[in-house]
């Protein structure tokens, strides 16, 4: 990729000419060995600086490659830059830098004598998310730094950094399945042949569901209620509200998702962030990659309370269980979870340094309702090992 020249040629020329003129004038007027020695000693360095100032750095060709593999937050990402220079000139120093980055890609100064094809590699450390690497900057200097010219080269490259995760103990996963009052793991379906009961008609109900006998008895429109059998799907819910521990929440959500998938459980993901997103439960091999990608791109800053999201989400009616990952336990959230607990497994993880008296009381009530509740210190998730590469 050709670059845009950012060097300043004429000021460099002017400085060199002034310096040469001063030394030549000194030698002419002063005379003697020392003054002429200074002038002639300056000439090779001055001519070399002139050569660097004339060097067409903008005509260099630059390419960048990042090895194709899965990178997790905190890992070192090797970035290789290949440079093809227009002339084989022995540059005293050629600095290569990732332009505009704050997480690595520091300037690397290298001297290459009479070589046109160059390459260098540096480690880049990026936080979780999708990152667009754009420009690489080259900077050529002479020996004494009299001439300093730069050129930027637009070589775009997209890098996705996935969240970290930890290996969850299998015995703890089995404890999730044993928790709560809901124990059935049958395939979910509605038995449309036999009505289990009747309820009041609400707008949106199909007319074929109207229970005419019950409607005649009650003198109002009634709708049939059918038996619902629950499947073995689980949903992992990530609270996207603003939190100092949001990255730890993402790590925890990835960890519990991986633990469930290792047990062969179909896992879905609900992210209540700036934009609510839902990934339907699946058991196939690509589901883990899909979950990691959603968690890599999620942004903090959800405005809607998590309790409202849980109450409105229709997918809860089909899931055998759900794991809630949040950093704040409130009375509203506790009430919503108690309402959900009789129908499915509920696991609640709260990432927080400490709990007050109210939080402990709400947690005790949830446990009595059959909800698995656990508080996790953020430090325990900050020191986990990195996610397992391509695993």
Query: What pLDDT does residue 242 have?
Result: 87
Are both 213 and 318 inside the same structural domain?
no
Q: Which span out of 107-111, 112-116, 281-285 was modeled with the highest average pLDDT?
A: 281-285
Query: What pLDDT does residue 189 have?
Result: 40
CA distance 164 to 149: 41
Are both 66 and 200 inside the same structural domain?
no
Q: Cβ contacts of residue 37 below 8 Å, gap of 6+?
A: none
- The pLDDT confidence band at residue 187, using thresholds 50, 70 and 90, is very low
- The pLDDT confidence band at residue 141, using thresholds 50, 70 and 90, is confident
Are both 66 and 199 inside the same structural domain?
no
Least confident of 12-16, 60-64, 76-80, 134-138: 12-16
Inter-residue contact 151 to 7 (CB < 8 Å): yes
| Residue 269 is assigned to a structural domain of this protein | yes
Please tell me the chain's helix, strand, coil percentages from 3-state DSSP, rounded to the nearest 5.
Answer: 35, 35, 30
Are both 339 and 361 inside the same structural domain?
yes
Task: Specify the CATH number for the domain of residue 370.
Answer: 3.40.50.410
* Helix extents (H) in 246-356: 246-262, 286-297, 306-312, 331-340
Query: What pLDDT does residue 273 have?
Result: 74
| Residue 391 is assigned to a structural domain of this protein | no
| Residue 389 is assigned to a structural domain of this protein | no
- The pLDDT confidence band at residue 238, using thresholds 50, 70 and 90, is very high
Query: What is the average pLDDT across 153-179?
Result: 83
| Residue 388 is assigned to a structural domain of this protein | no
Query: What pLDDT does residue 50 have?
Result: 80
| C-alpha of 62 from chain center | 27
Helix (H, G, I), strand (E, B) or coil at 264: coil
Kind of pairing between the strands at 3-5 and 148-162: antiparallel
Query: What pLDDT does residue 341 have?
Result: 86
Least confident of 24-28, 63-67, 212-216, 317-321: 24-28
Q: Which one has a higher pLDDT value, 73 or 199?
A: 73
pLDDT at 136 over 70: yes
Inter-residue contact 325 to 351 (CB < 8 Å): yes
- Domain limits for position 20: 9-54
pTM for the whole structure: 0.72
Are both 250 and 372 inside the same structural domain?
yes
Q: Which one has a higher pLDDT value, 312 or 100?
A: 312
Query: What is the average pLDDT across 362-390?
Result: 76
Query: What pLDDT does residue 268 have?
Result: 92
Query: What pLDDT does residue 365 have?
Result: 92
Number of domains in the chain: 4
Q: Which one has a higher pLDDT value, 89 or 358?
A: 358
Are both 175 and 319 inside the same structural domain?
yes
CA distance 113 to 92: 8
| Residue 190 is assigned to a structural domain of this protein | no
Q: Which one has a higher pLDDT value, 200 or 136?
A: 136
């Amino acid at each position: 990729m050709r670059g845009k020249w950012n060097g300043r040629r004429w000021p460099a020329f002017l400085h060199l000419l002034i310096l040469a003129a001063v030394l030549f004038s000194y030698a002419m007027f002063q005379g003697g060995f020392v003054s002429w020695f200074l002038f002639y000693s300056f000439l090779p360095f001055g001519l070399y600086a002139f050569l660097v100032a004339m060097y067409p750095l903008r005509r260099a060709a630059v390419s960048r490659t990042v090895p194709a593999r899965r990178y997790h937050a905190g890992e070192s990402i090797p970035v290789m830059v290949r440079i093809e220079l227009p002339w084989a000139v022995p540059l005293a120093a050629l600095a290569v830098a990732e332009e505009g980055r704050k997480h690595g890609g520091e300037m690397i100064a290298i001297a290459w004598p009479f070589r046109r094809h160059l390459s260098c590699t540096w480690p880049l450390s990026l936080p979780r998310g999708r990152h667009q690497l754009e420009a690489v900057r080259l900077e050529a200097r002479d020996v004494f730094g009299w001439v300093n010219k730069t050129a930027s080269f637009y070589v775009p490259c997209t890098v996705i950094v996935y969240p970290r995760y930890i290996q969850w103990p299998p015995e703890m996963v089995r404890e999730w399945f044993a928790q709560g009052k809901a124990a059935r793991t049958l395939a979910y379906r509605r038995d449309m042949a036999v009505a289990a009961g009747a309820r009041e008609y609400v707008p949106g109900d199909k007319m074929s569901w109207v229970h005419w006998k019950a409607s005649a008895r009650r003198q109002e429109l009634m709708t049939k209620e059918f038996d619902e059998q629950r499947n073995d799907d689980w949903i992992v819910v990530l609270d996207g509200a603003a939190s100092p521990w949001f990255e730890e929440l993402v790590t925890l959500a990835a960890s519990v998702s991986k633990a469930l998938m290792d047990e062969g459980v179909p896992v879905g993901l609900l992210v209540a962030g700036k934009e609510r997103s839902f990934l339907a439960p699946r058991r196939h091999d690509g589901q883990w990659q899909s979950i990691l990608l959603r968690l890599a791109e999620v942004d903090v800053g959800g405005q809607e309370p998590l309790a409202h999201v849980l109450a409105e989400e229709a997918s809860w009616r089909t899931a055998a269980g759900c794991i809630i990952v949040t950093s704040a336990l409130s009375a509203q959230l506790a009430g919503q979870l108690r309402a959900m607990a009789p129908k499915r497994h509920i696991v609640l993880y709260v990432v927080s340094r400490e709990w007050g008296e109210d939080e402990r009381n709400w947690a005790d009530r949830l446990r009595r309702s059959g909800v698995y509740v656990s508080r996790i210190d953020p430090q325990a998730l900050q020191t986990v090992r990195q996610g397992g590469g391509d695993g």
